[in-house]
Amino acid sequence: MAAHLKKRVYEEFSKVSQQVTLEEVPAKKLRLTKPSKSAALHIDLCKATSPTDALQYLLHFARKPVEAESVEGVVRILLEHYYKVFWVNCVWKLDFSKNFACVLESHQVLAQLLDTLLIIGTQLPDKIAVIQRLIDVACKHLSSTYFRVRNKCLQLLGCLGTVDKPLSKETDAGAGAQTSPVRDVQSVISDYFQDQDPRVRTAAIKAMLQLHERGMKIQQTIYNQACKLLSDDYEQVRSAAVQMVWVLSQLYPESIVPIPSSNEEIRLVDDSFGKICHMVSDGSWVVRVQAAKLLGSMYQVSPHFLEQTLDKKLMSDLRRKRTAHERAKELYASGEFSSGRRWADDAPKEKVDTSGVNLIDSGACGAFVHGLEDEMYEVRIAAVEALCSLAQSSPSFAEKCLDFLVDMFNDEIEEVRLQSIHVLRQISTHITLREDQLDTVLAVLEDSSRDIREALHELLCYTNVSTKECIQLALVELLKNLTKYPTDRNSVWKCLKFLGARHPTLVLPIVPELLSTHPYFDTPEPDMDDPFNYLPYLLWCSSQLPGRKQTASSGLEASGVGSGSLESAQNFLQDSLIRVSALQNLETPGAQDLLEFTIRDLQRLGELQTELAGSADFCATYLHCQLLLTKALQEKIWTMAVPLCLKQNAKVSTAARQILDETYKLEFLYSGLETQQIATIHNVRLQAKALQLILTARSKRGVDCVLGVCEKFLQDVESFQRLFMTELPHFQDSFVEKLLELMPRLTACKPLDLVKILQTTLRQSRFIHLKLPEQIHRASATIIEPTGESDNPLKFTSGLVVALDIDATLEHVQDPQTTVKVQVLYPDGQSHIIHPKPGDFRTPGPGRVRLITQVYLSHSAWTEACQIEVRLLLAYSSSSSKPSASKPAWNESMDGLPTSESCIEGTIHLSKPVKVFIMPKPAHR
Amino acid sequence: MPDIKVTPLGAGQDVGRSCILVSIGGKNIMLDCGMHMGYNDDRRFPDFSYVTQNSRLTEFLDCVIISHFHLDHCGALPYMSEMVGYDGPIYMTHPTKAICPILLEDFRKITVDKKGETNFFTSQMIKDCMKKVVPLNLHQTVQVDEELEIKAYYAGHVLGAAMFQIKVGSESVVYTGDYNMTPDRHLGAAWIDKCRPDLLISESTYATTIRDSKRCRERDFLKKVHETVERGGKVLIPVFALGRAQELCILLETFWERMNLKAPIYFSTGLTEKANHYYKLFITWTNQKIRKTFVQRNMFEFKHIKAFDRSYADNPGPMVVFATPGMLHAGQSLQIFKKWAGNEKNMLIMPGYCVQGTVGHKILNGQKKLEMEGRATLDVKLQVEYMSFSAHADAKGIMQLIRMAEPRNMLLVHGEAKKMEFLKDKIEQEFSISCYMPANGETTTIVTNPSVPVDISLNLLKREMALGGPLPDAKRPRTMHGTLIMKDNSLRLVSPEQALKELGLSEHQLRFTCRVQLHDPHSDTDTLGRIYTHLKSVLKSYSIQHVPDGTVIVESIVIKVTSSAEEPNLKVILLSWSYQDEELGSFLSTLLKNGLPS
C-alpha cells in the first residue's frame, strides 16, 4: 500500500513537472524531478517566474480532481518547496493555501496541510502577520469532526500562539490587537480539554504545555480543568495532565484553592502535590513513573504534606475538624487503622467520623511508600530519585526518609539498590546515622556485587555517625568485608581514611582499644601487614591527619606563604602570578631566575594544598613554557650562521617540541578553563609552531618543503582568529596580535620573508600574563590494579590472548568514555591502544570515574618473561576546529614506533606506567 | 427494574468456604466453591441445597468460576460437581487448573486416609471434576453463552489468581477473589481497568489494617530469622504449601546467598516439589524481576532450600523449616511445633492469617498452655512472632482497587463482620457509593439501570447532525425525532418515513382544531389581514403566508376567520395544526386568545 501510494505521488509529481516547464515555475522543483536540465537554464527560469503565475498554476492544479491519498503527499512537497523558493511571499501563499483547503474537503489532506503550515510557521518566528494568519486558520478548523485536524490545529496553536511580550516598533495598534488572541489562544485550547476524543484532549494539554515552554504565562483558571483530567480514562491524557498540574503548581505555588465539599482552603502547591501523589498509585506505570519523577521537583510544598508521603495512614492533622474538642480527641487516638505488625490489633478502634474534612486525598498518603514498593523498577528508581531531591532541600524530610532508603538496600533489582545507596550518599550531609541504621547499612557490605560494596564504601566516606560505637561497628564490618572480599582493599582503606578524618573526636576515645596499646606496658609491635592491625592504625592516622597537614605546610613560610590555610595559599598563588607579571621582558637578567623560583614554589604549593593543586600546576606549566620559549630565543643560533650551530639547533627544536606538548597538556588535561585561558595557550602554541617553522626554514634547503609548513601555519593563525575573536582585546602586544596585524602582508609574501617576519615578531612579542579562572582541576589517573609488584609472570600461549584486569580511578576527566584509552607497550617497542567499553566506566562520585576493564594481551613467543608497560592515555584532537581530525593517530595499534619517550600524536599520558610481568610461551605442538 | 442478586453461600461476613451466587441478567453464576478450614463436619462445605432443593445443580447454574487454587476457594469443587451434580463449565486460569488438583488430592488424602472419613470425594471424582474445567488466559474474554461473557484480570495473591468480570449486556459484576495490591517477591500487583461495573464484590480480609511498607516487614523477618539462626535456634515457619511459601523461599534464598549463610533451610512435604515445578513453568504470571531474569536463572530453582525429612526435626544445630499447613491445625507443621515448642531458643514465625479455632490462632492470642489430644498439655516456650505476609489487599489496597474500577456499588465478602462494618463506612464516606455486606444465605439485590443499545439509522443521524451545531457535544444529551422499531429482539431507531415504508403503513395525519372567539369590529378579511401582520411581527423567523382564499398559513398551521351569524363583531378564528407542530399551535392559540393589538 505504502509503495503504491508513493508511486502515485511520484506519478502526480512528474505530471506536475511537465506542466511546470511550460509555465515557467520554480527551479528547485524542476531540479528535483528532472535532474537532466542544465542548471543555467533553471536559474533563468527562476528569475523569470513571477509568484502570481505560479499561484495561478497551482490553483489550477488544485481544482483538478485528484484522489485524496496522493494529493496529501503532493501538497506537502509542493508547499515545502514553495516555501524554500518564495518564502518572502509567504503571507500571500497563505491565502492560496486557505483556498486550497476549501477546495479539498478531505480531512486527511487538511491535517497534512496544517502540519505543513506548522513547519512554515515555526521557521518564520518573526513574521507576525503570517503567524497571526496561521492562528486564524487553526482556530477556524478547530471545529473539524476529524480528530487529526483538531490535533494539528491545537498543536499549531501551541507552537505559534502568540506570546504576550510587548511588540516592538511600529505596531502600537498591533500590540493591542495582539493581546486579545493571547487570551483567546489559552481559552480556546482549554475548551478542548473536554473533547470527546482522548487524542485531542492529550493534544490540547500538550499545546498548553508548549505555550508554557515558550515562556507564555498560563492562567491559573485552567487548574481545575487540569485536575479533572487527572482521572481521565486514558493514560496518555493522565500523563499529560500530571505535567500540566505540575507546571501550574510551579507557576502559582502560593495561590489559595478551596477544598471541594468544604470551605477550607489550602495552597495550590500543596493541593497539586496531593493530587500528583495520588497518581503514584495510578493504574498505568507510565503515569506512575511520571508522577514520581515530578514529585521530586516540588520543593515549595509544606513540610507536613511532604511527610505525609511517607505514612500510608492519613494523619489527623491533615484533616480539619469542626470543633476543637473533636480535634483533640482525634489527635489523642491517632490512626484509626492498625499497622498489621502485631497480631489481633486490627479491631476497629474508632467509628468513622464523617464531620472531618480531608485536606489531602487519603489516596495520596504514603505516595513514596507506594512508589518504593511498586512492581516496576522504573517507578521505584524514579521514586528513589525524587526522594533524593526532596531530601536534599529539606533536612527534616531527609531524616524521615532515611529508613525507607535503607530499606531499598534490600531491593530485588541491583540497579535500584545501587541507586538508593548513591542517593543516600547525596543526602548524607543532612543526616546522622543512628547505630541501628548503620547496622542495616553495614549489612550490605556482605553483598556479593562489587559495585554495591564500593558504592557503600563511598557512602561511608561521607556519612556522619553519632557515637563511637558506630565507628567501631563500621571498623569491624569493614574488616569482615575485607576478609571476605580481599579485592576491596583500596576501597576499604580509603573509606576508613575518610571515616577517620570525618570523626576525629569519636575516634580519639577508642584509640587505645584500636591500637591495642596499654597504659603501662609496652605491647609487641603489631604486624602492619595484617589488615586487622593496619586498618585501626589507618583510622587513627586519618583522624589525626588534618592537624598534621597544618604543620607540614608551615614549611612554606620561607617562600612567602603565611600559614597553611587555603586562603593564604590562594593569596600566595596570586602574589606569585603578579610578581611574574611584573616582568615585562624576560630577557632582563634575573628574570629567568625569578621564573624558575616561581615555578618551583608553585609546584610545591600544589603538593601541599590539594585544593589548589590544579591551579598551581597549571600556572607552573604555563610559566615553564614561557621559560623554555625565552631560553630558546636567547640561544646563539639566531645570531650565528646555520651550519655552525647544529647542536643548538637541535636543542631549540626539542624545546619547541616540548612547549608544543606542554600546551596540549595545558589545554586538554585541565578542566574548568575559560576561553581566555585557552586562547592564551593557543598563543603559546602558535609561538612554538613559529619557532619550529623558523628552524625548518633555516635547516632545510629549498622553498618547497617550507611552503607547505608556512601555509599550515597561516591556517593555524586564521583558525585562532576565528575561534577567539572575542578574546583578542586581551592580547595586546602579544605575538598573535602582531601576527594578525601583519596578516595581509604575510599571506602575500614569500615563505622566506614570512620566516623573517616571524623571527622578529617572535622576539619582540611580550609574554602574556595568565589570569586564573575560579577553579582548575587537573585530570589524573591512578592504576590500582595491576600493582606492578608481582614477580610471577602471567603465562600464556603465544598467539593466543590473555586478559589483564585493569582497575583505575580517574579524577576530573571530562567525558572519559570517549577520551580515555589504555596503552600497552611491549618490550620490543610495539604499542597497542585499547578502547575500554563505555560500560566499564562507573561514576562513584562527582568528578571521579572508576575504570574497571580487561585488556587483551597477545604476543609471539618470548624466551623469558619480560615486563610490559600499561598506562592510561587521554586522547584529544589537536585541531579544535574539526574534532578528531581525519584519522586520529590512536585509532589503530602501531608497530615499531619509538613511543616510549614521546607521546603518540593526539594523546597525553594520564597515569604513570605500571609494569606487568608476562611470559608468552611457544605453543606445544 | 432489572437487578443483580447476590447471595453468599459462604464467605458472607466470614473467612473461608468462599461461595457466592450471582444472578445477573437472567444468568446464574457461582463464584468460587471453597471449603472451611475451621470445621470438620458438614459445615465445611457450602450448603448447596439452598439452591437445589436436593436436585442437580446444572439446571440452576450457567457457569462456575474459580478465582484461585486455595482450598477455601476451590476445596468443595469435586463435592459440588460430582456429589451434588453439576455438568456445566467451570472456569479457571491455567495455573489454577494445574495446581488445584494437587491440593485437592492432598486435602483428600489428609481427610480420608489420615482421619478416616467416609462419604468424601475420591481421586476419580477430582479427575472427573477437572475434566469440566475450561482454562482461560488473562484479559481473554470468554463467551459462556450468547449473552454471558467473562474476563480475567491479574490479581496477585498467588500464582494464577485472577479477578473476574462477568458481563451480561451492559450489566456487569467484578469478583475479585483474593487479591493483593502490593507486589511481592514473586508476584505483581492486582490490576484492573476502569471498567465501571455495576457491582464490585471484593474480599476484605484486612478491612481495618493499613500495612506498613512491605520492606520493613521483609527486613524484620530476615533479621529475626538471622538472629535466631546465629543463636543456634530453630525457626519454624508454618505456611500453606503454595503461595506465601514461595515468596518466603525466594526471600530467604536470596538472603542466604547474599549473606553467605550456611544453616540449612528445609521445606516439608513432597507436594511442594510438584508445585514448584508449576511455578517454574508459569513464569509469565510472576513479577517483573523473575520474568526478566529467568533466562539466566529461574528464581524457583532454589540452591539453599532442600526437602525436609521427618528425622531432620531432631537434628542438632540451627535450621529453618517451612512446614504445612499454615494454621498449625494438623499435619507436619503441628508435629514439628510440638517437638520444638519447649525450647525458648527456637522461634515460630506465623506469616499469615489464622482462622479461629486453630492452634495457630490460640498461640497468636498469647496462650501459653495448649491442650492436645488425649488430655496432654503442651507448654509453649518458644518465641512466637506474627508477621503479616499474607498477600491480601489491606484497606488502602481495597480503596485503590475501587478507585481503579470505579464501581457503582460495592459488596464486601471474605472478612469479619465487625471489620467489614468499619470499611463499609469508610467506602461510603469516601466514594459515596452504596456498600453491602450480606451474611451467608442473605440475598442482596442491587437495582441496575442498564443502558439499552439501539441501532440508529445513519440517515437519521446525519439529518440530526445537519440540524445541530458543527460538533456534537458528547457529554450532553440531545433530543431527536424518530421512530423506535422493536422487531425480532432488535431495537432500531429510524426516521418516521422509513418506518412507515418498512411496516407498510400509510401515514395518518393528526390535526388539532380549535376555535378562538374574538371581538373585532372589522370585516373578516380585515381581521385576517390584522392577524397576519400581528403574527408577522411576533413570529419573525417563521414563514407566514397570506393565501388569497382567505387563510393564513404559518408553517403547517391554517388560520381562518369567520364571523358568527348572531353577532357580527364576534369573530370566530379557526386554528388547525398538525401533531408535529403542537407546540407552535398551542402558542398561537394562546396568543390569539389574548386578542389582537388595536
pLDDT digits (tens, 9 = 90+) for A554-602: 333 434 444 456 777 778 777 777 777 776 666 666 777 888 888 888 8
Of B213, B289, B399, which is closest to A369 when you measure between CB atoms? B213
Round to whole Å and give the CA distance between A387 and A390.
Answer: 5
Contact A346 B419 (CB under 8 A): yes
| Distance in angstroms between the alpha carbons of the first and the last residue of chain A | 63
CATH number for the domain that contains residue B245: 3.40.50.10890
Round to whole Å and give the CA distance between A260 and A280.
Answer: 21
Q: Are strands B148-154 and B141-143 parallel, antiparallel or unpaired?
A: antiparallel
Looking at residues B4-19, what average pLDDT do you find?
Answer: 89
H-state helical runs in B480-549: 496-503, 524-538
Domain limits for position B499: 455-503
Residue B465, min C-alpha distance to chain A (Å): 11
Q: What are phi and psi of B491, to 5 degrees?
A: -115, 130
Of B350, B399, B422, which is closest to A352 when you measure between CB atoms? B422
What total number of domains does chain B contain?
4
Please report the pLDDT score of residue A638 as a whole number. 65
Round to whole Å and give the CA distance between A61 and A17.
Answer: 11
pTM of the predicted model as reported, rounded to 2 decimal places: 0.72
On whether any CB of chain B is under 8 Å from the CB of A351, the answer is yes
Residue B402, min C-alpha distance to chain A (Å): 11
Contact A283 B419 (CB under 8 A): no
Which residues of chain A make contact with B473, given a CB cutoff of 8 A? 196
| Distance in angstroms between the alpha carbons of the first and the last residue of chain B | 57
Round to whole Å and give the CA distance between B535 and B538.
Answer: 5
Which residues of chain A make contact with B194, given a CB cutoff of 8 A? 233, 283
- Mean pLDDT, chain B, integer: 85
**CA triple A310-A311-A312, angle to 5 deg:** 120
Same domain, B361 and B415: no
Which residues of chain A make contact with B213, given a CB cutoff of 8 A? 312, 369, 372-373, 404, 407
Q: A338: nearest CA in chain B?
A: B209
Of B209, B215, B387, which is closest to A338 when you measure between CB atoms? B209
CATH number for the domain that contains residue B69: 3.60.15.10
Mutate to test the interface with B, among A281, A375, A416 (most CBs of B within 10 A): A375
Q: How many CB atoms lie within 10 A of CB B450?
A: 16
Q: CA-CA distances (angstroms) from residue A536 to A402, A444, A494, A503, B375?
A: 28, 21, 13, 14, 61
Looking at residues B6-33, what average pLDDT do you find?
Answer: 90
Round to whole Å and give the CA distance between B241 and A699.
Answer: 92
Of A373, A375, A411, which is closest to B213 when you measure between CB atoms? A373
Contact A348 B421 (CB under 8 A): yes
With a cut of 70, say whether residue A91 has pLDDT above it.
no
Q: How many CB atoms lie within 10 A of CB B478?
A: 9
Which residues of chain A make contact with B287, given a CB cutoff of 8 A? 375
Please give the grid coordinates belonging to residue A857.
594481551
Round to whole Å and give the CA distance between A144 and A155.
Answer: 14
Round to whole Å and give the CA distance between A802 and A794.
Answer: 8
Which residues of chain B make contact with A346, given a CB cutoff of 8 A? 206, 208-209, 419
Q: CA-CA distances (angstroms) from residue A268 to A259, A280, A606?
A: 10, 19, 53
Same domain, B424 and B536: no
Round to whole Å and give the CA distance between B352 and B178.
Answer: 14
With a cut of 50, say whether residue A25 has pLDDT above it.
no
In DSSP terms, which residues pair with A807 in a beta bridge? A785, A852
Task: Note which residues in 143-202 of chain A have CB less than 8 A from chain B.
Answer: 143, 145, 194, 196
Of A283, A339, A362, which is closest to B191 when you measure between CB atoms? A283
- Distance from chain centroid for Cα B483: 37
Contact B211 A339 (CB under 8 A): yes
Of A194, A312, A410, which is closest to B219 when you measure between CB atoms? A410
Q: A409: nearest CA in chain B?
A: B215
Q: What is the pLDDT of residues A854-891, one digit of tens each?
A: 888 888 888 888 888 888 888 887 654 333 333 344 44
Three-state DSSP state, B152: strand
Contact B211 A283 (CB under 8 A): no
Q: How many CB atoms lie within 10 A of CB A432?
A: 15
CB A602 within 8 A of CB A617: yes
Q: How confident is the model at residue A519 (pLDDT cuts 50, 70, 90)?
A: low
Contact A281 B400 (CB under 8 A): yes
- Residue A742 burial (C-beta neighbours within 10 Å; 0-12, 13-18, 19+): middle
CB A778 within 8 A of CB A618: yes
Round to whole Å and give the CA distance between A612 and A605.
Answer: 8
On whether any CB of chain B is under 8 Å from the CB of A339, the answer is yes
% of residues, chain A, pLDDT over 70: 69
Q: Which secondary-structure segment (H or E) carries B228?
A: helix B214-231
Please report the pLDDT score of residue B272 as a whole number. 67
The domain made up of A779-878+902-921 has a fold known as Immunoglobulin-like (2.60.40)
Same domain, B221 and B352: yes
Contact B254 A362 (CB under 8 A): no
Which residues of chain A make contact with B475, given a CB cutoff of 8 A? 194, 196
Q: What is the pLDDT of residues A296-342, one digit of tens each?
A: 888 888 888 888 888 777 655 555 544 444 444 444 343 445 555 55
With a cut of 80, say whether residue B448 has pLDDT above it.
yes
Same domain, B33 and B117: yes
Amino acid at A306: L
Same domain, B219 and B300: yes
List the strands of the sheet with B383-386, edge to edge: B305-307, B265-267, B319-323, B234-238, B347-350, B383-386
Q: CA-CA distances (angstroms) from residue A200 to A195, A234, A236, A702, A743?
A: 6, 12, 11, 76, 62
Round to whole Å and give the CA distance between A734 and A731.
Answer: 5
Round to whole Å and give the CA distance between B203 and B18.
Answer: 10
Which residues of chain B make contact with A348, given a CB cutoff of 8 A? 208, 418-419, 421-422
Q: How confident is the model at residue A730 (pLDDT cuts 50, 70, 90)?
A: confident
- Hey, which of A446-460, A546-560, A701-715, B120-134 has the most confident mean pLDDT? B120-134
Same domain, B227 and B373: yes
Q: A379: nearest CA in chain B?
A: B288
User: Omega of the bond prior to B351 within 30 degrees of 0, cis?
Assistant: no
Place of cell 486416609: B113
Contact B260 A413 (CB under 8 A): no
Q: How confident is the model at residue A76 (pLDDT cuts 50, 70, 90)?
A: low
Q: How many CB atoms lie within 10 A of CB A18?
A: 10
Contact A346 B474 (CB under 8 A): no
Please report the pLDDT score of residue B167 as a whole number. 93
With a cut of 70, say whether residue A835 has pLDDT above it.
yes
Pairwise pLDDT comparison (A10 vs A574), residue with the higher score: A574
Please report the pLDDT score of residue A315 as a whole number. 56
Of the residues B355, B386, B417, the one at which a domain ends: B386
- Distance from chain centroid for Cα A407: 30
In DSSP terms, which residues pair with B22 in a beta bridge? B6, B29
Round to whole Å and give the CA distance between A240 and A236.
Answer: 6
Same domain, B206 and B126: yes
Q: What is the pLDDT of residues A591-640, one digit of tens each?
A: 778 888 888 888 888 777 777 778 888 888 888 888 888 887 776 666 66
CB A184 within 8 A of CB A218: no
Residues in chain B: 598
Please give the grid coordinates belonging to residue A172.
502600537
Residue B425, min C-alpha distance to chain A (Å): 7
% of residues, chain B, pLDDT over 90: 24
Please give the grid coordinates belonging to residue B567.
353577532
Lowest-confidence pick of A83-87, A232-236, A673-677, B346-350 = A83-87
Q: What are phi and psi of B415, to 5 degrees?
A: -170, 170
Of the residues B427, B447, B467, the one at which a domain ends: B447
Same domain, B98 and B203: yes
Q: How confident is the model at residue B366 (pLDDT cuts 50, 70, 90)?
A: confident
Contact B215 A410 (CB under 8 A): yes
Contact A337 B395 (CB under 8 A): yes
Phi-psi region of A812 (alpha: psi -120 to 50; beta: other; left: phi over 0): left
Three-state DSSP state, A841: strand
Long-range contacts of B16-22 (CB under 8 A, 24+ apart): B16/B72, B16/B355, B17/B44, B17/B45, B17/B46, B17/B72, B17/B75, B17/B76, B18/B67, B18/B72, B18/B73, B18/B177, B18/B413, B18/B414, B19/B46, B19/B76, B20/B175, B20/B201, B20/B413, B21/B51, B22/B166, B22/B173, B22/B175, B22/B201
CB B79 within 8 A of CB B17: no
Active site residues per annotation of B: 203
- Mean pLDDT, chain A, integer: 73
Contact A340 B189 (CB under 8 A): no
Q: CA-CA distances (angstroms) from residue B419 to B207, B275, B280, B415?
A: 6, 34, 37, 7
Which residues of chain A make contact with B350, given a CB cutoff of 8 A? 343
Which positions ≥6 away from A104 have C-beta within 8 Å?
A62, A68, A71, A110
Same domain, B322 and B276: yes
Same domain, B233 and B369: yes
